[in-house]
Every structure is written in C-alpha cells, then in structure tokens.
Amino acid sequence: MTGQRVEALFFDVFGTVVDWRCGVARGLEEALAPKGHALDWQAMALAWRERYQPAMAAVREGRRPFVKLDVLHRENLLSVLDAFGVEGLGAAEIDEINLAWHRLDPWPDVPAGLARLKKRYILASLSNGNVRLMVDMARRAGLPWDAILGAEPARAYKPSPEAYRRSIAFLDLEPSACMMVAAHNGDLAAARAVGMRTAFVARPHEYGPGQATDLAPAAEWDMVAEDFGELAHRLGC
Amino acid sequence: MTGQRVEALFFDVFGTVVDWRCGVARGLEEALAPKGHALDWQAMALAWRERYQPAMAAVREGRRPFVKLDVLHRENLLSVLDAFGVEGLGAAEIDEINLAWHRLDPWPDVPAGLARLKKRYILASLSNGNVRLMVDMARRAGLPWDAILGAEPARAYKPSPEAYRRSIAFLDLEPSACMMVAAHNGDLAAARAVGMRTAFVARPHEYGPGQATDLAPAAEWDMVAEDFGELAHRLGC
C-alpha cells in the first residue's frame, strides 16, 4: 500500500464489528420464549437477515424513497413472525423485538482493536444501519466512533456508490485517504470502485456453522487481517 | 421540569463547549506572528466571528445553497485578513489558518461534565460547525459525542427550525425528550420553538472583557446551570 496516507477508517458494522446472528437470536428468544414459543432462534435470525438485501434493493432501485433501516427491519420482522407462526403480538412488543439490532455484541477483538486504531485514525461507521441504531449499539458495546456516517446521513444504501462518496465527503477527504474495513468482499468491491483503500477481516462465524461465503478475500485487497488486533498492528498502531 | 424523560442532550458548541475566541486568536498569532505581523489577535478573532451570522444568513434565506461552515469561515477569513492589512498569503497558508476553528479548547468544566452526562444521556453536538470540524475538535479536546448532528447533516443552519428538527429526527425522539444546552438565549428560543427542553449555561468570557450579551437567562428556561458540572448534578448524573 503506497501513496497518500490513510487518515480515516470506515467500518462495515453488521458482521464485521458485531455478531448480529447471535444477538438477534438472543433478542428473539428473550421476547418470545416467555410467551411459550420454542423456535429455532438462530434460523429465525437468519431468516430475518435474508430479507435485508431485498428490502434495501427497493430503495436502491428507486422503487421507494429512503427510509431508515429500523423501518425495513420492522417490516421484515412481520414477515418472519408470520413465517414462524408467531401471532398476536402488539405493536409495542414488535417494536421491542426490533431493537434487538440495537443491542448486538462486538466480536471479542473489536473493542481493544478500535481503541488502538482510534489513536491514529479517524474512525467512522459506514453501515446501512440508521444513526439511532448505531448510537445505541456504540453506547452499549463501547464502540468509539468519531462519526456515525453511512446510509442514513448519506440517504443511500450500500453498495450504492453514493453511500460511500457522501460518507467520505462529510470528512472532506480524498477517497484514497480512506480505508473501508469489511468482512464482505462485495462491500470492499464497491468501496474500491469509488477509490477507497480496502481491508478484509474474515468473520467465518457470521452466518453460523454453514457459512459458505466471504471466508477468504476474493480480490487483492490492500490489506487482509485476521482480526482488528492484527489490523491495528498492520496499520502502525 | 415534568413530563417525558429527557433521553438526549444536544449541545451548542462554539461558545458553550469551547472557547473559540482564545483558540482562534492563538491560531492567528501562531500563523502570522512568525511572518512579522504584530496585530491585535483577539480583535481579529472577534472580527472573524462577526462575519459568521451574515454568512450563514445567505444560506438560511435561500440566497445560496448550503455550504459547510469551513467554506464560510474561509471566505470570511479573506475579508478579515484584508481588513487587518495582511497580504501575500498562499492558499495552503490560508487553509491552515482556517483550521484554527478545528483546534479550540473546551472550557475547563466541559470534559468532566460531559463524561458524567454521557453515562445517562445520549450526547450530540448540534452546532453550525461541519462534521469534519467537529470530529477534529472532539478528537483533540476529548469530547465524547455519541453523534455529530447539527447544520451539515441537517443541511440547515441554526436558528432555522430544520437544523433542530432534522437533528432530533436522526435520533428518533420526540422534541420533548431532547434538551438543548447553550450559552445563547437565541439558540434556546429556537430550540424551544420546536418543542425541545432548554438548559442555559452562561459563558460570560466568550466575547472577552466587554461581553454585554447572554450574561444571564433571558427567559424561563427549563434549567439554568453555572457550568457542565452543575448541569450534570441537576440532571441526576
């Protein structure tokens, strides 16, 4: 990696920074088990996440105006509850389950890694999650973001180029002074397409035992690290 | 103060959180004294700040599209340099002086007060300063914002109601669950007009020895505190 110094690191969050699968499964179980439901909570979390890309596609393709991810998550939750035969929940109960996405735990290497990286780099979230979701998650998990950027401030969902370009513009940087950190090759490809540097950190447990995608870098990314600790080391922190 | 619990505190920054006058005067002196200039740096800082409201008025009144405060500050700096007889600076030197606004010191009570308040409340900046300015300032001064909101994400300058309303909307809160903290009565009046709670913290040295405005609350604000320590105490932190 040569040329302009990297000044800011932008992070994908769901999967890269936090374990959404276990956190969402836990949230579903905590809400529904006391009501007598005995379901495959992990499968339910995966089913909820499966509806994520199609929901955002409607916004990306201009078929509906931008709405926050919390709104899309709630619509998708109704579909998942129906698919798993859960009936009779009130609106407030559904709202509460939807907040599971605000209460996700970081991967074990994340807090210490981000603390090291923050000393030298501006750290920004570049997630499809909305600002309040990111704020709640960061306060609970101790994620030291300097700025919460990404879909809601940019009013565009990744991998639309505007999601990256507008996030970078908030920091007045050239794309080449920005590095996207993600566990997803597709996210890095979109970041590279707008001129950002790229760092791949594999999260082989994101989707559980059956994970078949994003187990390894699919291109010559600028950096590949085992975890955020190695990323900090490689970036001179 | 009764009714709905306050969940988020929004802060005015220039004057309320940081001492812009001394920081800007220092930045001007550090840049220009080595070039042989001996000017009244405090007066120069005040002259720069005097051009702030008229510059934003052009945006607020729709006479020009939204531009970041860094852009307005730089235009105003050219006018101040001219007024004080400073000639011959290069573009990079002018850019560097403009960064004085990114390097302002907090009032002495601020870091400890914000750390206490953060335990119980979401803390957001609601400044006319742009995101990168706020990020640089927060990293240098240790301001623990959960989110940087205000003019740039809202694309509206205070005291336009949109600057407050759109900042609140990023956090999905009712205005009555939000408290604006400011040393300026006008800022609080605009916040109250959109339904926010209000807290006045006097900063009698903001404008220097001759300060004649905002020395005391001009209305029955929900809270009046001597400094951020008292504010934290009054808010149960």
Q: If you count DSSP H runs as helices and E runs as strands, how many of each does chain A have, helices first?
A: 11, 6
Distance of residue B1 Cα from the nearest chain A Cα, in angstroms = 25
What is residue B162's predicted lDDT score, i.e. its pLDDT?
98
Q: What is this model's ipTM?
A: 0.96
A to B CB pairs, distance under 8 Å: 42
Of A70, A147, A172, the CB nearest to B148: A147
What is residue A210's predicted lDDT score, i.e. its pLDDT?
87
Question: Which residue, among A53, A21, A27, has the nearest Cα to A208 in the 3D structure?
Answer: A21
Q: Do A132 and B70 touch (CB under 8 A)?
A: no
pLDDT beyond 90 at B3: no
How far from the centroid of its chain's Cα atoms is residue A36's Cα?
31
Q: Do A172 and B148 touch (CB under 8 A)?
A: no
Distance of residue B148 Cα from the nearest chain A Cα, in angstroms = 6
Residue B174: count of CB within 10 angstroms of its CB = 11
Q: Do B170 and A132 touch (CB under 8 A)?
A: yes
Q: Do B139 and A122 touch (CB under 8 A)?
A: yes
List the structure tokens of A212: 């078949």
Q: What is the largest CA-CA distance in chain A?
A: 59
Hey, which residues does A11 pair with through a beta bridge?
A: A125, A181
Query: What are the pLDDT digits (tens) for B210-220?
Result: 899 999 999 99
A147 at B interface, C-beta within 8 A: yes
To test the contact with chain B by mutation, choose from A130, A134, A135 the residue with the greatest count of B C-beta atoms within 10 A, namely A135
Taking each helix axis from N to C end, the angle separating A185-193 and A161-170, rounded to the nearest 10 degrees, works out to: 70
pLDDT band at B2 (very low <50, low <70, confident <90, very high): low
B141 at A interface, C-beta within 8 A: no
Chain A residues close to B70, C-beta within 8 Å:
172
Residues of chain A with confidence (pLDDT) below 70: 1-3
Q: Domains along chain A?
A: 8-19+104-234 (3.40.50.1000), 20-102 (1.10.150.240)
Share the mean pLDDT of chain B.
Answer: 97
Distance CA A101, CA A134 (A): 9
Q: Do B139 and A146 touch (CB under 8 A)?
A: yes
* Triad A52, A57, A63: Cα angle to 5°: 130
Mean of pLDDT values over B118-136: 98
B9 at A interface, C-beta within 8 A: no
Question: Which residue, among A161, A164, A139, has the nearest Cα to A149 in the 3D structure?
Answer: A164
Chain A residues close to B131, C-beta within 8 Å:
147, 170-171
Q: What is the largest CA-CA distance in chain B?
A: 59
Question: Which residue, among B117, B133, B193, has the nearest Cα to B158 in the 3D structure?
Answer: B193
Q: Do A172 and B146 touch (CB under 8 A)?
A: no
Query: What are the pLDDT digits (tens) for B171-198?
Result: 999 999 999 999 999 999 999 999 999 9
Distance CA A29, CA B114 (A): 36
What is residue A2's predicted lDDT score, i.e. its pLDDT?
54
Residue of chain B with shortest Cα separation from A140? B119
Report the percentage of chain B scoring pLDDT > 90: 97
Distance CA A35, CA A235 (A): 49
Of A122, A138, A170, the CB nearest to B146: A138
Distance CA B124, CA B135 (A): 12
Distance of residue B136 Cα from the nearest chain A Cα, in angstroms = 9
To test the contact with chain B by mutation, choose from A10, A102, A170 the residue with the greatest count of B C-beta atoms within 10 A, namely A170
Report the percentage of chain B scoring pLDDT > 70: 99
B170 at A interface, C-beta within 8 A: yes
Question: Which residue, among A96, A97, A92, has the nearest Cα to A41 in the 3D structure?
Answer: A97
Q: Do A170 and B122 touch (CB under 8 A)?
A: no
Q: Do B132 and A171 touch (CB under 8 A)?
A: yes
Hey, which residues does B223 pair with through a beta bridge?
A: B199
Query: What are the pLDDT digits (tens) for B7-23?
Result: 999 999 999 999 999 99
Task: Please give the span between the terminal C-alpha atoms of chain B, in angstroms, as a whole number.
Answer: 16
Query: What are the pLDDT digits (tens) for B20-34?
Result: 999 999 999 999 999
Chain A residues close to B73, C-beta within 8 Å:
none
What burial letters (b/e) apply to A114-147, b meaning 16+ CB within 10 Å?
bbbbbeebbbbbbbbbbbbbbbbbbbebebebbb
What is residue A48's predicted lDDT score, i.e. its pLDDT?
98
A15 neighbors A203 (Cβ within 8 angstroms) = yes
A122 at B interface, C-beta within 8 A: yes
